[in-house]
Amino acid sequence: MTEQRVALVTGSSSGIGAAIASRLSAEGMRVVLNSARSAEQGRELADSLADAHYVQADISDVDQANRLVEAAVERYGRLDVLVNCAGTTKVIPHSDIAAVTPEVWQRILGVNVIGTWQMSAAAAPHLAKSGAGNIVNISSVAGSRPVGSSIPYAVSKAAIDHMTRLLANALGPDIRVNSVAPALTETPWTRDDPFFRAVADKVRQGTPLRRVGTDTDVAEAVLAVLRMDHMTGAVLPVDGGARLV
C-alpha cells in the first residue's frame, strides 16, 4: 500500500488556505495546517479533518518557518507538498504614494515574499526525498496586472511568480514548483470589506465569467497543479478571465 502523502499548507486556518487544506485532506493526504494567529480556528479545522495537525507559526520569522517544517516532518515522517498560502496586505489606493511607508513594505514583503522563500528553502530537502515533491505558491493576478489592494501587495505577488520560475529551474527534477494566481476571491475576510465589495461589483459586470472566484475554485486549481506531472515553473490564472479585460 502506498504511504499517504503529506501536505503542509501555510495560512490555512480560514479562507483560501482552509479550503486548500480541506480539499487535500479529502483527496487522502495527511495535512499540516498553520497560521500566525487564529490558532483556535486552525485547531478546530484540523480536528475536523481525517488526519491533520495544526502548528502556529509566523512564516516571516526564519526560526518559526524552520520549526513549522520540522514539526510537519516530525509528526508524519515525510513531506510531499508545500502550499505557500500565507499572505498579508494593506488596502491603499495606488495613487496614495505617501501612505506606503517602509513599514508597510517590510510587513507585506516579509510575509509574502521572504516567508514564501523561507518555507520553500526549509521544505526543499524533505520534498526532494519524496520522489514527487511539489511547491505550490498562491499568487494573484495582481502580480501581472496593475491592480491589487496596494502597490506593495502587487509587487509581492510579482516577486512570488518569478521566484516560482527560478525555483522550478533550480529544484527540478526532484521538485516541481508552480503558482496559482487567483483574481478577487470571496472569503469571510473579503466578503465584508468595502474595498473588496466594490471590486466584486466590477468583476461581476466586466469579466467574461461574470462572477467572483471562490476559495473552492482556488483549492481545485491547486489539486489540478499537483496532478500535472509535466508542469513546472508555471503561473496558472484562476481569474474568470479577468486578465483578458
Q: How far apart are CA 241 and CA 24, in angstroms?
A: 25
pLDDT of residue 200: 80
Q: Is 98 exposed, middle or buried (0-12, 13-18, 19+ CB in 10 A)?
A: exposed
Asked if residue 66 is part of any domain, the answer here is yes
Q: Express each pLDDT in 148-204 by its tens digit.
A: 889 999 999 999 999 999 999 999 999 999 999 998 888 776 777 777 777 787 888
Q: How far apart are CA 124 and CA 223, in angstroms?
A: 20
Range of the domain at 84: 6-228
pLDDT of residue 1: 38
Question: Domain containing 51 — which CATH number?
Answer: 3.40.50.720
Asked if residue 162 is part of any domain, the answer here is yes
Asked if residue 16 is part of any domain, the answer here is yes
Cβ-based neighbours of 233, under 8 Å, separated by 6 or more: 164, 165, 168, 169, 177, 178
Q: How far apart are CA 139 and CA 157, in angstroms?
A: 5
Asked if residue 243 is part of any domain, the answer here is no
pLDDT of residue 2: 58
Asked if residue 240 is part of any domain, the answer here is no
Sheet holding 175-182, edge to edge: 52-56, 30-35, 6-9, 81-84, 133-138, 175-182, 235-238
pLDDT of residue 7: 98
Is the bond into 194 cis (omega within 30 degrees of 0)? no
Asked if residue 244 is part of any domain, the answer here is no
Q: Mean pLDDT over all residues of the chain?
A: 94
What phi and psi, each to the nearest 5 degrees, are found at residue 206?
Answer: -120, 5
Q: How far apart are CA 206 and CA 208, in angstroms?
A: 7
The residue ranges of the chain whose pLDDT is under 70 are 1-2, 189
Asked if residue 1 is part of any domain, the answer here is no
| Overall number of domains in the chain | 1
Asked if residue 238 is part of any domain, the answer here is no
Distance of CA 173 to the CA centre of its chain: 22
pTM (two decimals)? 0.94
Catalytic one among 122, 153, 179, 236?
Answer: 153
Residue with cell 489539486: 223
153 is known as an active-site residue: yes
